[in-house]
Amino acid sequence: MSPVSGRLVLAATPLGDIRDASRRLIDLLTSADVVAAEDTRRLRALASALEVTIAGRVVSFYDQVELSRLPGLLEAMRTGSTVVLVTDAGMPSVSDPGYRLAAACADEGIPVTCAPGPSAVTTALAVSGLPSDRFCFEGFPPRKGGERQRWFAALVREPRTTVFFESPHRLAATLADAVTVLGGDRRAAVCRELTKTYEEVRRGTLAELAAWAEAGARGEITVVLAGADPEPAPALEDLVAEVKRRVAEGERLKVAAAEVAERSGVGKKALYDAVVGS
């Protein structure tokens, strides 16, 4: 099969400050054969602000039409077209349209590349003041309270900093649920309107942020949640006592020591020797 001459470019767009647009984004908008946009009106506004003319064909590419647009875009790339995908702000495919198109291109061997740039996820993480060496991104929490509380329950022991998006009209309820499940003392940051004129970063405990959010919030919201504190290592004497109890109930010493050691993260031989020597 002959190689595909077209390609897909995932192009990041500014979160708010137009000066964050890259030179490469500008070049792509003026040279691409097809520009697929989450909102074509916002694309036109972006092009106007950048003072560029989009030469290629513009097609809409939002959640409700994503699947129906795939065949046409794939065919365009098969026949040599460069397709540039942009979303309303930030990096395509990160809780925005793009993943399915990139996956379809990968399946067909169509080149996929990226014009990197702004991302609300990493921007919020950077300004949050919370640990950034390890983090996870969880998209949007569920809309219903019960499902949302179960969603937070999965983060109770998550050691990494967690980043997620939320709509402004659900922020207060979401933070209240976070307090219920995770406790009011967990540190967090609410980042609002990043890079825009009214950018605001609120840092504090979940309880403090939940109380602040009750008054209402506007704009694009990204929440950064501190990871759970590591559980203290169990005392060796407590592990020895557990092994002895299990042996007294009929288990073999080596089996009991091995299972307790594996669960607690201590060395099997060290625990076995401690039991024998006690």
- pLDDT tier at 212, thresholds 50, 70, 90: very high
Q: What percent of the chain has pLDDT over 70?
A: 99
Sorted by where each begins, the domain ranges of the chain are 7-118, 121-225, 236-276
- pTM for the model stands at 0.81
Kindly tell me if the per-residue pLDDT of 30 is higher than 60.
yes
CA pair distance 128, 236, nearest whole angstrom: 38
pLDDT in tens, 118-137: 999 999 999 999 999 999 99
Strand pairing class (221-225; 187-192): antiparallel
The answer to whether the beta carbons of residues 14 and 123 sit under 8 Å apart is no
Q: Mean pLDDT over residues 44-57, rounded?
A: 96
Beta strands in the chain (DSSP E): 7-11, 34-37, 57-60, 82-86, 112-115, 135-137, 161-166, 187-192, 200-205, 221-225
Q: Which DSSP state fits 132?
A: -
Letter for the amino acid at 192? R
pLDDT at 199: 97
Quickly list DSSP for 58-120: EEE--GGGHHHHHHHHHHHHHTT-EEEEE-SSB-TTSSSTTHHHHHHHHHHT--EEEE----H
pLDDT at 232: 77
Average pLDDT of the chain, as a whole number? 94
pLDDT at 257: 93
Q: What percent of the chain has pLDDT over 90?
A: 88
Beta-carbon contacts of 255 under 8 Å, excluding residues fewer than 6 positions away, are none
pLDDT at 263: 84
Letter for the amino acid at 81? S
For 7-118, CATH number out of 3.30.1330.30, 3.40.1010.10, 3.40.250.10, 3.40.50.720 equals 3.40.1010.10
Determine how many CB atoms are found less than 10 A away from the CB of residue 124: 24
- pLDDT tier at 57, thresholds 50, 70, 90: very high
CA pair distance 255, 248, nearest whole angstrom: 13
Rg, Å, the chain Cα set: 25
Letter for the amino acid at 231? E
pLDDT in tens, 133-184: 999 999 999 999 999 999 999 999 999 999 999 999 999 999 999 999 999 9
Question: In Å, how far from its chain's centre is CA 269?
Answer: 41
pLDDT at 3: 63
pLDDT at 140: 96
Architecture of domain 121-225: 2-Layer Sandwich (3.30)
pLDDT in tens, 214-247: 999 999 999 999 999 887 778 888 899 999 999 9
The answer to whether the beta carbons of residues 71 and 21 sit under 8 Å apart is no
The answer to whether the beta carbons of residues 204 and 188 sit under 8 Å apart is yes
